[in-house]
Structure 1
Amino acid sequence: MEKQAQIYKADQRGCSESEIFRRFCTFNFDDYRAISRHAFGALYAVNDETLAAGNKIVRHVEENFDIILLPLVGGIVYKDSLGNQDIVGTEEIRIFSAHKGMSYEITNSYEEELVNYIQIWLRPDKPFFTSQSNQQNFNLSERNILIPLFEGKISDSPVLKTNATADGFIGIFDGRKEGKYKLKNPHNGLFTFVINGAFEFENRLIESRDALSISGISEIAFEALSENAILLILEIPLKR
């Protein structure tokens, strides 16, 4: 596979905003359309969302997806039309199967504080789509390593599973610390999103809320360029 890479700068993301809600989307989503912002294989959406205090948003799903909620600032209340409900806080991740026709809502129950969270949408492997709604915590006190967040459903490890053969990791790094990621499947692609700070990937500078997709590699090295730099790494199947 020929090596290909694309950088998604934070200030070039699509933006949808109201008095109570703001969404920055890395890929084409809802009314945002750009030629260079198509989905990356099974990775359909990476949305950076902020919700004002005491408000909620409701979303109706038009096709099957696995949806991942990752709070960054504050906690959110998740509720869906199937009766699942829980509070998802920082250093917690929730994955749920959003079937076609289902709806869900996200609420900020704080009286004064904004909440900020990431939504990741994954297209499932065909033809099976298993219902799930699960939540798990992770510990960012472990530094300079990649911590597993989720993985494909074939594995028997205790990490949360997805209906796509995708893997997700998060890590917090000290300045000048180096890391490396080796793909489980060299036919997959790698997508990385910087939550905080700055990183360098093969001489590519990726700063806070920037992203990078790259294919045609078997592994990649990176270096944190700032203290407390936080990184998401997703291994994504490209062939649908």
Structure 2
Amino acid sequence: MSQFILHKENTRGHANHGWLNAHHSFSFANYYNPDRMHFGVLRVLNDDLIDGGMGFGAHPHDNMEIITIPLAGAIAHKDSMGNSAVINAGEIQVMSAGTGVSHSEFNALEDVQLNLLQIWLFPNKKNVTPRYDQRALNVDARHNNFQQILSPNADDDNVWIHQDAWFSLGKFDEAFETEYKIKKAGNGVYAFVISGEVIIDGQTLSKRDAIGIWDTENISFKAISADAEVLLMDIPMEF
């Protein structure tokens, strides 16, 4: 029998630094909740609003898979591997920190607020050579469909990471129904509602709510509103 945990929008950690308005689904920085340390290998899901021209100066990471999805605006990225890039809404960026990497992230625009999701997963391989990738996504391909945007497979038409994880984005019409089949036995799904209202496995979720589901093979999905957009993270429950 499947199990689940609900994370409502207003239960997230929150820190407003003026230039940065951050919401944390899991313990992060000054937000500590022993019941919200991780979901399987999903360690961080931050929903950040960053003012024009502001951002995070160079800081280090190691042995973590880092995924960044800008929802609005653009990110200016620089790292110790020599990468310098702008990641726009409609794109995805990944970085395998491995043996160690430092990077900076700033709002690339002065007059548009940046909204991004930053996601960290524990890797299934430690001390790998750091790597970077970004990819433009075909936004139309997620209409009434869970569009796969990340996987463990370098041969797939998406970014890849060192973990048995699959990410999908979907944008749905009102009353659209479908089913999602979990990619690997033992994985669970953490579903984060970007906008709108949906029903997932019988639970009603609104904007920025989330649900973690495990011990199942399939998940039922129905969009209630016409602007429903959801990120599904299909991830190992053990690490």
Task: State if a TM-score over 0.5 links the two structures.
Answer: yes
Q: Aligned runs of 1:1-240 on 2, under 5 Å?
A: 3-58=2-57, 60-99=59-98, 101-127=100-126, 129-142=128-141, 143-153=143-153, 156-240=155-239
Per the TM alignment, residue 102 of structure 1 is displaced from its structure 2 partner at its CA by 2.7
Give unmatched runs, 5+ long, in structure 1: none
TM-score between the two structures when normalised by the length of structure 2: 0.94
- 1:113-170 alpha-carbon deviations (Å, 9 max, x no partner): 21101001111103463432111111222310011110013x6322211111100000
SS in structure 1 at match of 2:10: helix
Please identify, of 211-220 and 110-119, the stretch whose mean Cα deviation from structure 2 is larger.
110-119
Aligned-residue CA RMSD in angstroms? 1.6
After superposing on structure 2, the runs of 4+ consecutive aligned residues of structure 1 that deviate more than 6 Å are none
Summarize the Cα distance change of 1:165–1:203 in structure 2 as closer, same or farther, 3 Å threshold.
same
Distance 1:4 1:180 in 2: 17
- 1:188-239 alpha-carbon deviations (Å, 9 max, x no partner): 1111001010110122011111111011000111101111211101110112
Distance 2:215 2:111 in 1: 46
Percent of pairs identical after alignment? 31
Distance 1:7 1:140 in 2: 28
Structure 1 residue identity aligned to 2:93: R
Summarize the Cα distance change of 1:127–1:83 in structure 2 as closer, same or farther, 3 Å threshold.
closer
Distance 1:100 1:118 in 2: 24
Structure 1 residue identity aligned to 2:135: Q
Distance 2:2 2:37 in 1: 18
Structure 2 residue identity aligned to 1:42: V
TM-score between the two structures when normalised by the length of structure 1: 0.93
Summarize the Cα distance change of 1:124–1:82 in structure 2 as closer, same or farther, 3 Å threshold.
same
SS in structure 2 at match of 1:46: strand
SS in structure 2 at match of 1:141: helix
Distance 2:82 2:118 in 1: 20
Give unmatched runs, 5+ long, in structure 2: none
Distance 1:235 1:111 in 2: 35
| Paired residues, number | 238
Distance 1:124 1:48 in 2: 21
Structure 1 residue identity aligned to 2:172: F
Q: Given that residues 130 and 163 in structure 1 are in contact (C-alpha distance below 8 angstroms), is that contact kept between their aligned partners in structure 2?
A: no
Q: Given that residues 99 and 130 in structure 2 are in contact (C-alpha distance below 8 angstroms), is that contact kept between their aligned partners in structure 1?
A: no
Distance 2:177 2:184 in 1: 22
